[in-house]
């Protein structure tokens, strides 16, 4: 009797399933599936919101305008340059993939990594001498990074690793392409140079990503064990002592005329007091708050912090330089072409370091088996090698997840900062691809073109995720 | 013993210094909002003559003391709009997500997991791809510049479905099988067995959704042109573009926009942390 009822439960009348799924899928069809199809169709039209322009089918024109090149000099053919550009892009993708594989596997890479590093140095040197385009710098930096990652391998003696061969070939080919670079761009120019600038901006701002993930991991490690503050009586006494010290520091520094230092000192002791009283939970709360409150309010706050005349960051840096007798002056941050991106990246670091990634690492750290760590300690493993050989491999799935999410988010990010803090400027220095889609669509009203950009962005996100899957998975299995 | 104590002190000091540095911007915001106009551009963080007058000025209860004019910002209205829309979105999204999550976790049907993976993979589609057609859909439906235009598109979420599915999968199957044997319908099992057991997950999702819509900026920016319907982020943007030079006003406004979030977080942080960790790791 009971068994039949349960067995019946295995094959339900689909009606009930549909009933439960209906509300969600209705929304999904209206606001995700249909728009996606619609947007794909729009890529091939010249649709604008201007009433004067009639909508018509234009084939691949939007994509050609976006990604294509045009020749400016005599005797050159745009097709050659397009082929060159496609080769360069494919090569870069392959190179990044191989580098990832190196980092992921830590395997057979000594010789290859030295070659990679050397190629990177050469490339950077060429870039310095010729004042080449940013992409050359980027490629050089990537190569050096790959080389370093390979050289960090411990234990085994010098060994030729086959894994390094593709990377070597790719980097040689890249250097060859770079040699062609100048002659190509002398006679051609991209049809939409802004797209390439904004793509560069997007990738540039993602360079803060490794730093932010490392910071999250560091914070999580600091928070992973409860502070041994003892029973409630000790906690009470300790926190009262901290409070007293805080008030003392504050009043002392205030009376000697250092208002800002007094505030910082007092705050330090107050946080110490909370930490003593409530343990790691209070620190976790403080670290997580920037992420939890992030949004327009925080961006407006940072805009004020970065204000070159009245903001505390510039004031403090200039004050420090005056005190030390340096002539360096703080830049205009968000109004400065060079410094706007790093400024936004630093704000992102403040927001993200203690955010969701830290929580994910915290929970992963609590799942690392204690007996493994103890066994390693008995075997005489030091702190670093315990981390490198026990903890880090155990964290691999979490790292993998975080990297994927960070890459996807980073490629699509930057809209809010650009809209609220900088307006995309100065001179487009902080415009990312998503902000470009917005301005093309809702300010220039060229919806077809905007859809084309958004689909190119989608392809980039997809490729990046595919690379991560392909090579990040080995990270999970191997280490 | 001695080494352990030194390690403890190091960690304690490091954590406290980091905590101080990370919370410094918040204190700067707070103390700036208590500065009178003449001190607003001082380098000192602490105001010499603290005043609360910036708050009523931003709330449009008093005229700006230096210009003797009202700012004309409708802060109270924006608060109401933000909360109204956020509560609506949260309620609907938790409802639709939990229903779908039930179908994906507690019911057995052919192709269930394939459909789920396909559904989940749509999370990868960048928001920018769908934003322009979505706006067009809103135009066709006549939803532009309305509350339901803000609420309805956000009432469905693949992420929420995913999060709640993870929670519901951890409920032992014996429970609903027992209910099934007692003759309960799926609706009853869902409502009376699973929902109470998945409550931590529901709360976590509710908080995350509330938070997301409290801060959502892009969609209201595209959809609204009447200040009557503005949400807090848009209001802040308006305030910033007209009175951006008056740091003390802007900081008072930002502090008021942030305060509810801090209160919510301190009350519910246990649920937020649990929910995020469960949703992220088991994926």
pLDDT tens per residue across span A408-427: 889 988 888 999 888 887 88
Asked if the C-beta of A321 comes within 8 angstroms of chain B's C-beta atoms, the answer is: no
**Taking 80 as the threshold, does the pLDDT of residue A146 lie above it?**
no
Can you list the alpha helix ranges (DSSP code H) found in A106-231?
A: 110-130, 134-151, 164-187, 193-206, 208-223
- What was the pLDDT predicted at A220? 92
- What was the pLDDT predicted at B89? 94
Phi-psi region at B242: left, alpha or beta (left = phi > 0; alpha = psi -120 to 50) = alpha
Asked if the C-beta of B214 comes within 8 angstroms of chain A's C-beta atoms, the answer is: yes
| B26 domain residue, yes or no | no
- What was the pLDDT predicted at A155? 47
- What was the pLDDT predicted at A105? 52
| Cβ neighbours around A219 below 10 Å, total | 24
Cross-chain residue pair B8–A268, CB shorter than 8 Å: no
**Taking 80 as the threshold, does the pLDDT of residue B42 lie above it?**
no
Question: In which band, very low, low, confident or very high, does the pLDDT at A230 lie, cut at 50, 70 and 90?
Answer: confident
**Taking 70 as the threshold, does the pLDDT of residue B9 lie above it?**
yes
Asked if the C-beta of A218 comes within 8 angstroms of chain B's C-beta atoms, the answer is: no
Interface of B with A in 162-181 (CB under 8 A): 177, 180-181
Question: Which residues on adjacent β-strands are paired with residue A163?
Answer: none
Q: Which of A28, A295, A450 sits opposite B233 (nearest CB)?
A: A295
The two tokens of residue B44 are 């000192």
Question: In which band, very low, low, confident or very high, does the pLDDT at A475 lie, cut at 50, 70 and 90?
Answer: low
C-alpha distance from B13 to closest chain A C-alpha (Å)? 8
Question: In which band, very low, low, confident or very high, does the pLDDT at A6 lie, cut at 50, 70 and 90?
Answer: very low
Composition of chain B by helix, strand, coil, percent to 5: 75, 0, 25
Domain segments of chain A: what residues?
Answer: 76-190, 210-226+279-478
Cross-chain residue pair B158–A28, CB shorter than 8 Å: yes
Q: Which of A33, A310, A458 sits opposite B247 (nearest CB)?
A: A310
ipTM score above 0.90: no
Alpha carbon distance A417, A341 (integer Å): 10
Cross-chain residue pair A298–B258, CB shorter than 8 Å: yes
Question: In which band, very low, low, confident or very high, does the pLDDT at A141 lie, cut at 50, 70 and 90?
Answer: confident
**Taking 60 as the threshold, does the pLDDT of residue B193 lie above it?**
yes
Cross-chain residue pair A301–B99, CB shorter than 8 Å: no
Composition of chain A by helix, strand, coil, percent to 5: 75, 0, 20
- What was the pLDDT predicted at B283? 38
- What was the pLDDT predicted at A477? 44
Condensed to tens digits (0 to 9), the pLDDT of residues A234-247 reads 888 888 888 898 88
Decide which of B229 and A478 is more confident: B229
Asked if the C-beta of B9 comes within 8 angstroms of chain A's C-beta atoms, the answer is: no
Asked if the C-beta of B95 comes within 8 angstroms of chain A's C-beta atoms, the answer is: yes
Average pLDDT, chain B: 84
- What was the pLDDT predicted at A99? 62
Q: What is the CATH number of domain A210-226+279-478?
A: 1.10.3720.10
Q: Highest-confidence range of A163-167, A340-344, A442-446, B273-277, by mean pLDDT?
A: A340-344
C-alpha distance from A343 to closest chain B C-alpha (Å)? 15
- What was the pLDDT predicted at A61? 83
A-chain residues near B272 (CB < 8 A)? 292
- What was the pLDDT predicted at A113? 65
Asked if the C-beta of B131 comes within 8 angstroms of chain A's C-beta atoms, the answer is: yes
Asked if the C-beta of A60 comes within 8 angstroms of chain B's C-beta atoms, the answer is: no
- What is the separation of C-alpha A285 from the centre of its chain, rounded to a whole number of angstroms? 23
The two tokens of residue B78 are 């924006």
C-alpha distance from B81 to closest chain A C-alpha (Å)? 16
**Taking 50 as the threshold, does the pLDDT of residue B12 lie above it?**
yes
Question: In which band, very low, low, confident or very high, does the pLDDT at A218 lie, cut at 50, 70 and 90?
Answer: very high
Decide which of A463 and B91 is more confident: B91
A-chain residues near B186 (CB < 8 A)? 12, 16, 19-20
Alpha carbon distance A16, A307 (integer Å): 59
Of A124-133, A256-265, B52-61, minimum mean pLDDT range: A124-133
Alpha carbon distance B163, A207 (integer Å): 30
Of A107-121, A448-462, B26-40, B148-162, minimum mean pLDDT range: A107-121
Question: Which residues on adjacent β-strands are paired with residue A469?
Answer: none
A-chain residues near B78 (CB < 8 A)? none
Q: Which of A285, A309, A415 sits opposite B269 (nearest CB)?
A: A285
Cross-chain residue pair B100–A35, CB shorter than 8 Å: no
Helix (H, G, I), strand (E, B) or coil at A190: strand
**Taking 70 as the threshold, does the pLDDT of residue B18 lie above it?**
yes
Interface of A with B in 353-392 (CB under 8 A): 353-354, 356, 359-360, 362-364, 367
Cross-chain residue pair B22–A39, CB shorter than 8 Å: no
Interface test mutation site (partner A, options B120, B129, B222, max chain A beta carbons within 10 A): B129
Alpha carbon distance A472, A405 (integer Å): 12
Q: Which of A271, A276, A301 sits opposite B19 (nearest CB)?
A: A271
Angle between helices B173-181 and A2-10 (to 10 degrees): 120
Number of structural domains (chain B) is 1
Asked if the C-beta of A48 comes within 8 angstroms of chain B's C-beta atoms, the answer is: no
Q: What is the DSSP string of A437-454?
A: HHIIIIIS--HHHHHHHH
Question: In which band, very low, low, confident or very high, does the pLDDT at B211 lie, cut at 50, 70 and 90?
Answer: confident
**Taking 60 as the threshold, does the pLDDT of residue B1 lie above it?**
no
Cross-chain residue pair A227–B8, CB shorter than 8 Å: yes
**Taking 50 as the threshold, does the pLDDT of residue A2 lie above it?**
no
Q: Highest-confidence range of A112-121, B40-49, B83-92, by mean pLDDT?
A: B83-92
When pLDDT is averaged across residues B41-65 and rounded to a whole number, the result is: 82
- What was the pLDDT predicted at B281? 46
Query: At which residue do the structure tokens 């994910």 appear?
Result: A360
**Taking 90 as the threshold, does the pLDDT of residue B93 lie above it?**
yes
Radius of gyration of chain B measured on its C-alpha atoms: 24
The two tokens of residue A437 are 């889609």
Residue of B nearest to A422 (CA): B241
Range of the domain at B82: 75-246+258-281
A-chain residues near B267 (CB < 8 A)? none
When pLDDT is averaged across residues B196-225 and rounded to a whole number, the result is: 86
Question: In which band, very low, low, confident or very high, does the pLDDT at B165 lie, cut at 50, 70 and 90?
Answer: confident
Of A371-375, B43-47, B207-211, B246-250, minimum mean pLDDT range: B43-47
Cross-chain residue pair B124–A285, CB shorter than 8 Å: no
Alpha carbon distance B48, A214 (integer Å): 40
Interface of A with B in 253-292 (CB under 8 A): 259-260, 262-264, 267-269, 271-272, 275-276, 280, 283-290, 292
Helix (H, G, I), strand (E, B) or coil at A189: strand
- Alpha carbons within 13 angstroms on the beta-carbon side of residue A419 total 26
Asked if the C-beta of B190 comes within 8 angstroms of chain A's C-beta atoms, the answer is: yes
DSSP state of A60: T
- What was the pLDDT predicted at A20? 86
Cross-chain residue pair A24–B266, CB shorter than 8 Å: no
Condensed to tens digits (0 to 9), the pLDDT of residues A59-78 reads 888 888 888 777 776 655 66
- What was the pLDDT predicted at B48? 81
Interface of B with A in 51-70 (CB under 8 A): none
When pLDDT is averaged across residues A386-409 and rounded to a whole number, the result is: 83
Check if the beta carbon of residue A129 is closer than 8 Å to that of residue A113. Answer: no
Average pLDDT, chain A: 79
Of A29-38, B90-99, B122-131, B139-148, minimum mean pLDDT range: B122-131
CATH number reported for the structural domain that contains residue B109 in this entry: 1.10.3720.10
| B231 domain residue, yes or no | yes
Cross-chain residue pair A42–B133, CB shorter than 8 Å: yes
Asked if the C-beta of A17 comes within 8 angstroms of chain B's C-beta atoms, the answer is: yes
When pLDDT is averaged across residues B80-85 and rounded to a whole number, the result is: 91
Asked if the C-beta of A177 comes within 8 angstroms of chain B's C-beta atoms, the answer is: no
């Amino acid at each position: 009797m009971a068994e039949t009822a349960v067995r019946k439960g295995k094959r339900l009348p689909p009606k009930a399933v549909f009933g439960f799924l209906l509300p969600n899928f209705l929304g999904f069809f209206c606001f995700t599936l249909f728009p996606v199809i619609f947007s794909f169709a729009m890529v091939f039209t010249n649709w604008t919101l201007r009433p004067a322009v009639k909508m018509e089918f234009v084939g691949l024109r939007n994509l050609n305008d976006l990604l294509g090149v045009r020749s400016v000099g005599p005797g050159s053919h745009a097709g050659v340059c397009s082929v060159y550009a496609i080769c360069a892009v494919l090569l870069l993708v392959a190179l990044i993939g191989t580098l990832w594989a190196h980092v992921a596997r830590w395997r057979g890479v000594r010789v290859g990594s030295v070659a990679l590093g050397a190629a990177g140095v050469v490339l950077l040197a060429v870039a310095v001498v010729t004042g080449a385009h940013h992409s050359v710098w980027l490629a050089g930096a990537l190569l050096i990074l790959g080389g370093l990652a390979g050289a960090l391998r411990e234990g085994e003696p010098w060994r030729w690793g086959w894994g390094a061969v593709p990377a070597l070939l790719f980097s040689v080919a890249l250097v060859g392409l770079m040699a062609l670079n100048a002659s190509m761009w002398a006679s051609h120019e991209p049809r939409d140079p802004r797209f390439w600038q904004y793509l560069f901006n997007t990738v540039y701002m993602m360079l803060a990503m490794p730093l932010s993930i490392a910071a999250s991991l560091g914070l999580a490690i600091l928070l992973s064990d409860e502070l041994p503050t003892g029973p409630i009586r000790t906690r009470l006494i300790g926190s009262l002592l901290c409070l007293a010290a805080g008030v003392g520091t504050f009043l002392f520094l205030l009376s000697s005329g250092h208002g800002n230092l007094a505030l910082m000192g007092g705050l330090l002791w107050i946080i110490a007091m909370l930490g003593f009283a409530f343990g790691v939970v209070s620190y976790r709360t403080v670290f997580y708050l920037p992420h939890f409150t992030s949004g327009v309010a925080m961006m407006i706050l940072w805009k004020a912090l970065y204000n070159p005349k009245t903001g505390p960051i510039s004031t403090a840096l200039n004050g420090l330089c005056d005190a030390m007798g340096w002539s360096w002056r703080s830049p205009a941050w968000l109004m400065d072409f060079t410094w706007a991106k790093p400024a936004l990246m630093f704000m992102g670091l403040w927001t993200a370091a203690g955010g969701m990634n830290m929580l994910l690492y915290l929970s992963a750290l609590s799942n690392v088996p204690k007996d493994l760590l103890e066994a390693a300690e008995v075997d005489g493993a030091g702190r670093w090698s315990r981390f490198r050989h026990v903890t880090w491999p155990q964290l691999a799935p979490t790292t993998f997840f975080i990297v994927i999410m960070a890459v996807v988010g980073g490629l699509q990010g930057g809209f809010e900062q650009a809209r609220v803090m900088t307006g995309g400027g100065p001179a487009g220095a902080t415009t990312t691809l998503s902000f470009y889609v917005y301005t093309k669509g809702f300010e220039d009203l060229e919806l077809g073109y905007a859809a084309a950009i958004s689909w190119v962005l989608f392809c980039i996100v997809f490729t990046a995720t595919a690379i991560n899957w392909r090579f990040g998975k080995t990270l999970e299995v191997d280490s | 013993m001695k080494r352990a104590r030194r390690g403890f002190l190091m960690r304690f000091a490091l954590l406290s210094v980091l905590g101080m540095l990370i919370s410094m911007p918040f204190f700067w915001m707070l103390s700036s909002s208590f500065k009178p106009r003449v001190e607003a551009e001082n380098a000192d963080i602490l105001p010499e003559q603290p005043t609360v007058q910036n708050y009523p000025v931003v709330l449009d209860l008093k005229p700006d003391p230096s210009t003797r004019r009202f700012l004309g910002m409708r802060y109270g209205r924006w608060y109401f709009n933000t909360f109204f829309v956020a509560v609506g979105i949260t309620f609907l999204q938790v409802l639709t997500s939990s229903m779908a999550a039930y179908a994906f976790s507690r019911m057995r049907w052919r192709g269930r997991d394939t459909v789920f993976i396909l559904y989940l993979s749509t999370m990868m589609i960048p928001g920018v791809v769908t934003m322009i057609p979505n706006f067009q859909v809103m135009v066709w439906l006549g939803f532009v510049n309305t509350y339901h235009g803000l609420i309805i598109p956000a009432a469905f979420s693949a992420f929420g479905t995913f999060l709640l599915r993870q929670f519901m999968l951890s409920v032992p199957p014996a429970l609903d099988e027992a209910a099934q044997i007692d003759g309960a319908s799926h609706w009853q099992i869902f409502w009376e067995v699973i929902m109470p057991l998945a409550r931590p997950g529901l709360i976590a999702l509710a908080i995350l959704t509330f938070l997301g819509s409290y801060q959502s900026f892009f969609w209201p920016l595209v959809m609204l042109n009447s200040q009557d319907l503005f949400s807090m982020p848009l209001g802040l943007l308006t305030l910033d573009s007209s009175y951006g030079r008056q740091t003390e006003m802007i900081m008072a406004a930002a502090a008021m926009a942030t305060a509810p979030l801090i209160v919510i977080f301190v009350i519910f942080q246990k649920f937020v942390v649990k929910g995020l960790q469960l949703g992220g790791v088991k994926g």
